[in-house]
Amino acid sequence: MTNVVDGVGRVGGTAQAWAALGGAPELAGRVRYRGVGDLGEGPLPVDELARSTVGVCALAAAELAAVRAGGGAGDVAPLVVDEGAVATAFVSERHLRVQGRAPVSFAPLSGFWQAADGGWVRTHANYPHHEAALVRGLGLPAATPEALRAAVSGRPAVEVQEAVYAEGGLAVAVAEAYGEPQPLVEPVRESGARGRRLGPAPVGRPAAGVRVLDLTRVIAGPVATRTLGLLGADVLRIDPPGLPEADDAYADTGFGKRSALLDLAEPGDRAVFEGLLAEADVVVSGYRPGALERYGLGAAELLERRPGLVVAELCAWGWRGWGPWAGRRGFDSLVQAGYGIAARCAGAGGVPRGVPGALPAQALDHGTGYLVAAGVLRALAEGGGRGLRFSLAGTGSWLVRGLGAGEGSAGAGAGAGADAGGGYSAGGWLREVDSGYGGLRYAASPFGDWARGPSRWGGDAAVWLPRG
């Protein structure tokens, strides 16, 4: 983030996202974009989604910095977001190398499969428990692509979907039409109370001294919290010990935070968690609706107990989900399938005609992550005491319905990753660091770089660091 004004602003999507976050309209034009970025071709404006979500996060960080310096929104200086940095960060999982090895993005049983009625099903079996549920739900004789293909081809798409979900697995019939409209951001509650007063912050670290309890997994939520960690927050991720995170996923999204394991059903661990909650400023949760309420940790309950908190919740299918979808598990690829995006992308990016496709990035995940971070930063700037909701379906709804192509064009100034011919190259934003997983090559954040690599998942103590 650079306080200079070179480059031409693209404020179409930025203004829309900033308005959804409740920001002062006149600030949207202070975000400028420069350089070259390229997330690949496709029928939907993914590049605009990427630049806009990162842009509003940069703007929210600048607003918080201005407030903590004793000023207000009007003191936010113009700032620049580099498009090459955005494009690189939006596919950070593709750039990751763990001791020279490329990560496994999708397991053999994750993908598109044609059903008996001519429709398609998208499955997600990257985690062992989801693979086991998929095998149970369809009665597969073996956990192989051949067995899955044969099973799906003998049943209608929706029947496959329901059989797998009934066993706790993940399969979605590919929708031909877009799903019901969803809000990009949904403010759900304001307590009327203010959180802990935040004094001046170091330059580039507007969230310094803020404690963030991270109850998220996989990509969207962890992208939000690794961003807050880069911006100075003390982020502590808490997971149940019986639900391991994939090593490759945490090697990518574990920057800027620590990770500990607590079983909330066990009294001793619950007491530790309650102690952490008592000193937290922010809670970010990424579980499906209703999952945390059974522990008394829904947004309404948290704000009742701690009126000054900022609570950001995100889910897959939207808080105003249609039919049974709001309470279902989901991932970016599944929401693309169920929301009609995969059908819109059929035949794109080298996919055969008639076969569902995908966005050129897991843009719903990454875009939602930056929106969540922006929402938290804005809520802190306004004193805390509020709950916000986000969803992958809400970001998808914005992508297919409301997101404009933007205004203007790339600025004259090339970013650090622009090659000599003016094209995009990711190399300028790739870094190397040691970590709990060994040597990593990774994508830097559009906001700078982390001080160190991630620890191993679950390997840290469940304690806050001293406030600095």
Rounded to whole angstroms, the Cα distance separating 15 from 31 reads 10
**Which burial class, exposed, middle or buried, applies to 22 when counting CB atoms under 10 A from its CB (0-12, 13-18, 19+)?**
middle
H helices, E strands: number in the chain: 15, 15
Residues 6+ apart with CB under 8 A from 421: none
| pLDDT at residue 194, as a whole number | 86
Rounded to whole angstroms, the Cα distance separating 122 from 142 reads 19
Rounded to whole angstroms, the Cα distance separating 259 from 1 reads 27
- Candidates 166, 167, 292; CA nearest to 240 is 292
pLDDT averaged per 10 residues in sequence order, the chain, 468 residues: 34 91 95 92 93 98 96 89 97 97 92 97 95 98 98 98 96 95 86 86 96 96 98 98 93 98 96 97 93 89 94 91 78 96 84 85 97 98 95 96 52 42 83 98 97 97 92
Beta bridge partners of 255: none
Three-class SS of residue 367?
Answer: helix
Place of tokens 């390997």: 459
Question: What is the per-residue DSSP string for 211-276?
Answer: EEEEE--TTHHHHHHHHHHHTT-EEEEEE-TTSPPPHHHHHHH-TT-EEEE--TTSHHHHHHHHHH
Rounded to whole angstroms, the Cα distance separating 403 from 418 reads 26
- Candidates 416, 440, 357; CA nearest to 88 is 416
| pLDDT at residue 11, as a whole number | 58
Q: Alpha carbon 310 to chain centroid distance? A: 18
To 10 degrees, what angle do helices 363-381 and 220-230 make?
Answer: 50
Evaluated on CA atoms 344, 345, 348, 351, the torsion sign reads negative
Find the radius of gyration of the CA atoms of the chain.
Answer: 21
Q: Alpha carbon 114 to chain centroid distance? A: 29
- Residue at 373: amino acid letter: A
| CB neighbours of residue 187 within 10 Å | 15
Residues 6+ apart with CB under 8 A from 11: 28, 29, 31, 406, 407
| pLDDT at residue 402, as a whole number | 84
How much is the pTM?
A: 0.93
Rounded to whole angstroms, the Cα distance separating 408 from 6 reads 13
| pLDDT at residue 15, as a whole number | 96
Q: Kindly state the tokens that stand for 420.
A: 């000599």
What end-to-end distance do the CA atoms of the chain give, in Å?
A: 22
- Candidates 119, 106, 113; CA nearest to 146 is 113
Q: How many residues does the chain have?
A: 468
- Candidates 245, 213, 217; CA nearest to 228 is 213
- Residue at 431: amino acid letter: R
Rounded to whole angstroms, the Cα distance separating 298 from 63 reads 28
Cβ contact 158:164 at 8 Å: no
Question: What is the per-residue DSSP string for 134-156?
Answer: HHHHHT-SSSSHHHHHHHHHTS-
